[in-house]
Homo-oligomer: A and B are copies of this chain.
Amino acid sequence: MSSNIAPAQVELTIPCQPEYVAVARLAMSGIASRMHFTYEQIEDLRLAVGELCTLSVEWANKNNRQEARIVLRTEISSNKLTVDILDTAGPRHCGEGTGRDVEEENLAQLLITLLVDEAEVIPQPDGTLVRMVKYVGQR
């Protein structure tokens, strides 16, 4: 229930804390609803954003960054939605987990891979950027 709308950006900044992950998910649902996604694809995006924010929260916790923030940035264009999740949760050391249950971490990775069409991890000076892409009309 959307129309052909011009490319547009939405940006949301939340504290990198467990209780705010739901805010990011809700915003993601609202944004995705503006596009020609199916109900299931909107659910996928909500879940993927939830998993990515949870990962950020776990790293902020491990790196002891109480002040860390998550920025969710979405760019809508006619055939795809690009979602950036940028955190200031500090470094994610290679091969080192967050101390989180390994299975949970694997499940999170699995879900992200399955739910979006592309996902790229781009380390940042003060945290991590994950860029996801979901195409309209694909599964």
Specify the main secondary structure of chain A where it touches its partner: mixed
Residue of B nearest to A19 (CB): B34
Contacting pair A33 B22 (CB below 8 A) = yes
Say yes or no for A111: interface residue by CB 8 A criterion. Answer: no
Query: Given the complex, which residues of B lie within 8 Å of A135, measured CB to CB?
Result: none
Contacting pair B30 A10 (CB below 8 A) = no
Contacting pair A11 B10 (CB below 8 A) = no
A65 to chain B, nearest CB (A): 14
Say yes or no for A17: interface residue by CB 8 A criterion. Answer: yes
Residue of B nearest to A22 (CB): B30
Contacting pair B13 A10 (CB below 8 A) = yes
What does the 1/0 interface line of A4-36 toward B look like (CB < 8 Å)?
A: 010011111111010110110111011101100
Can you list 19 A-B contacts (CB < 8 A)? A2-B19, A5-B17, A8-B17, A8-B20, A10-B12, A10-B13, A11-B11, A11-B12, A12-B13, A19-B34, A20-B34, A22-B30, A23-B30, A23-B31, A23-B34, A25-B30, A26-B30, A27-B27, A27-B30
